[in-house]
Amino acid sequence: MLPYEWEKKLVDMNVATLTDKDILWADMVFISAMLAQRISAQDVIDRSRAFGKKIVAGGPAFTTQKDAFSGVDHFVLDEAEVTLPLFLEDVQKGTLRRVYTSDEKPDVTHVPVPLWSLLAEPKKYGALSIQYSRGCPFNCEFCDIIIMNGRRPRMKLSAQIVAELDALYKIGWRDSIFIVDDNFIGNKREVKNMLVAVIAWQKKMKYPFKLFTEASIDLARDKELMDLMRLANFYKVFIGIETPNMTSLEECQKVQNTKDNLVESVRTIQEHGMQVMGGFIVGFDNDPEDIFEMQTRFIQETGIVTAMVGLLTALPGTQLWHRLEAENRLLHVSSGENTDGTLNFMPRMDREKLLTGYQQILDSIYSPKNYYLRIEQFLAYYRPTVRSRYSFKNVLALFKSIFRIGIRSKQRMLYWKLLLKTFFTHIRAFPTVVELAIYGLHFAEITEKIRLERLERQQQIA
């Protein structure tokens, strides 16, 4: 969306280091970030200012919390299809303003294909991303998606999605693609039409991509939709389950999760060849004293191996933020990271009990024994149909896992038992099992990191 004649360089700090040379190369430094990257973003701003560079900032962190940042010359906020052209027009005129903002929700059928040539090293990524739609029809109290992108889903055309798949294929990508929608099935009729085109493309190109996305739990109600996703080569889906406690779901207005049995819904999706990654939250006003045991039981019973459990956080501008502000319960601005073990509001439950219970969930579900039991529970219902391309990268990952887990790790007996059992009884799930075993190392590290950070905070208070 920037002028063709501009020289452009992309530094993605998730996979690369921003050097002084990079900053010196630029006339303008454009920064985008999420709230969880606020500290890093401010550091980039400070470094760039030290070299006298003009700084342009946009993206979720700046759109919702621009006043939290210092040193930015120009904010290009909200959706860039509306505000970026206004900024570029003023660049030409030499009449730049400090803030560009708009409530307009643009027509995404005019969004161009990303300039993937700016991506220096695609091999550093586990997945690349495309977007099909923006917005979500639901009204969850804690969610800022509907604040930024609205409740009416806006979809790209099927031809746009095919063009984006073509673009990724042309740069040599042959791995996973994350469809980064707020809710992929926000408009079921339209997404079904789009999936027909994706299925035809995948078949024509011999299935170069595995796909995953985010969706709501009502996906389990629509067999046709799940079948189409399976045929399009979807292999996993992230679902915000939040809590098995119905009263808490009603509190946060997550009504779509109260209509069906959650355990059965998860299993239905697994049976259609997709791994369910789950988002979970503790800290609701209506959470009972035994919510920590309830969450742990639910996660183990459903075989949701990738269970992302976090503390409730009040994001700026959300309904939850405004409610807690009216109740005089807000403490500070959210870090944007709900797994860092911090609370930015006064909970109804005793604060220390909530933090201790949260840690207990993580310690339980990511203990080696429970983690591997959960993989086995998942395999009992999983019916994999994904078409995968075996590559040197896959083989290397297997051998690295053998060395790090099968030889050096304390969980090596669990690892070998699972791999051998899967190889002889569930061979199609073997690549998934290796992947999950590797993820287990990451989750254990995150759990330990949260524990150490909590201990450090307790010592500081003492």
Q: What would the pLDDT profile of 177-224 be if each residue is shown by its tens digit?
A: 999 999 999 999 999 999 999 999 999 999 999 999 999 999 999 999
Chain-wide mean pLDDT for the chain? 94
Residue 6 lies in a domain: no
Residue 8 lies in a domain: no
336-358 exposure pattern, b = at least 16 Cβ within 10 A, e = fewer: bbbbbbbbbbebebeeeebbebb
**DSSP conformation letters of 397-409:** HHHHHIIIIIISS
Looking at residue 312, what is its pLDDT?
96
Please give the model's pTM, rounded to 2 decimal places. 0.93
- Among 52, 78, 100, the domain-final residue is 100
Percent of the chain with pLDDT over 90: 87
Looking at residue 388, what is its pLDDT?
79
Q: What would the pLDDT profile of 238-270 be if each residue is shown by its tens digit?
A: 999 999 999 999 999 999 999 999 999 999 999
Instruction: State whether 173 and 210 are in the same domain.
Output: yes
Mean pLDDT across the stretch 17-36?
96
- Among 331, 349, 381, the domain-final residue is 381
* Residues whose CB is less than 8 angstroms from the CB of residue 66 and which lie 6 or more positions away in sequence, other chains included: 57, 72, 75, 77, 99
Instruction: State whether 83 and 137 are in the same domain.
Output: no
- Decide: 241 and 278 in contact? Cβ < 8 Å: yes
Instruction: State whether 178 and 309 are in the same domain.
Output: yes
Tally the domains of the chain: 3
Residue 388 lies in a domain: no
Alpha helices in 94-157 (DSSP H): 145-149
- Decide: 330 and 345 in contact? Cβ < 8 Å: yes
Residue 389 lies in a domain: no
Instruction: State whether 438 and 338 are in the same domain.
Output: no
Residue 253 lies in a domain: yes
Instruction: State whether 375 and 413 are in the same domain.
Output: no
Instruction: State whether 115 and 223 are in the same domain.
Output: yes
Q: What would the pLDDT profile of 346-383 be if each residue is shown by its tens digit?
A: 999 999 999 999 999 999 999 999 999 999 999 999 99
3-state secondary structure 206-248: CCCCEEEEEECHHHHHCHHHHHHHHHCCEEEEEEEEECCCHHH
Looking at residue 16, what is its pLDDT?
94
Looking at residue 45, what is its pLDDT?
98
Mean pLDDT across the stretch 374-399?
88
Looking at residue 270, what is its pLDDT?
97
pLDDT at 462 over 80: no
The parent domain of residue 68 ranges over 20-100
Q: What would the pLDDT profile of 57-105 be if each residue is shown by its tens digit?
A: 999 999 999 999 999 999 999 999 999 999 999 999 999 999 999 999 9
Q: What would the pLDDT profile of 397-456 be if each residue is shown by its tens digit?
A: 899 999 999 999 989 999 999 999 999 999 999 999 999 999 999 999 888 888 888 788
- Decide: 266 and 287 in contact? Cβ < 8 Å: no
Closest-CA residue to 366 (of 420, 434, 437): 437
Instruction: State whether 245 and 348 are in the same domain.
Output: yes
Instruction: State whether 307 and 431 are in the same domain.
Output: no
Instruction: State whether 121 and 232 are in the same domain.
Output: yes
Q: What would the pLDDT profile of 41-62 be if each residue is shown by its tens digit?
A: 999 999 999 999 999 999 999 9
Instruction: State whether 339 and 220 are in the same domain.
Output: yes
Instruction: State whether 126 and 256 are in the same domain.
Output: yes
Which helix (H) or strand (E) element contains residue 54?
Answer: strand 54-58
The CATH number assigned to the domain holding 90 equals 3.40.50.280
The CATH number assigned to the domain holding 238 equals 3.20.20.70
Residue 245 lies in a domain: yes
- Among 36, 69, 100, the domain-final residue is 100
Residue 255 lies in a domain: yes
Residue 305 lies in a domain: yes
- Decide: 288 and 294 in contact? Cβ < 8 Å: yes
Instruction: State whether 84 and 49 are in the same domain.
Output: yes
